[in-house]
Amino acid sequence: MSWRRLNGSRILLPIKDAVEKTIQNELKEGYKLKICIGTDSQVRGGNIGFATVIVFLREGKGGFMYIKSEVVSQKMAIRERMIQEVSRSVSLAYELSDLWDKYTDVELEIHADINTDASFKSNVALKEAMGYIKGMGYEFKAKPNAFASSSCADKVC
């Protein structure tokens, strides 16, 4: 359950220290930075795999991400699983909240892997997820604009 980079190398610092060091380095290099946090999950038999990502976007210059994966052995209805994803993202953003206060020029978004189209199953949790994220004071993005959860986390889940 430790944090790693996409290439598999482990992040040895506590995540808050690693994120702050990364922000400092990126700003020092002159990048305008946006951070997107998202979580995705996949059901495999009786287990659910969760992947949470911190995506660092350099405006016009690409980006990279930190990843944390976890497998839980429990059954969940779709609504509960969607709220679990959002909860993991919000909890991480809250854990790092001192950094958002310190680096006010760094944008932060929380991405939810929830579809805005009512014909998709995940839509059952849209209002709850949006209320939870916005209620905590964070910028909310859902599909199709929630790439941190629906693309980045999805690929490593």
67-123 pLDDT tens trace? 999 999 988 998 899 999 999 999 999 999 999 999 999 999 999 988 887 778 877
Q: Which residue has the higher pLDDT, 123 or 137?
A: 137
pLDDT-based confidence at 1, cuts 50/70/90?
Answer: low
Q: Name the residue range of residue 104's domain.
A: 4-156
Total number of domains constituting the chain: 1
Provide the CATH number for the domain around residue 99.
3.30.420
Mean pLDDT of the region 143-151? 86
- Two tokens, residue 10: 């482990």
pLDDT-based confidence at 133, cuts 50/70/90?
Answer: very high
Mean pLDDT of the region 12-21? 97
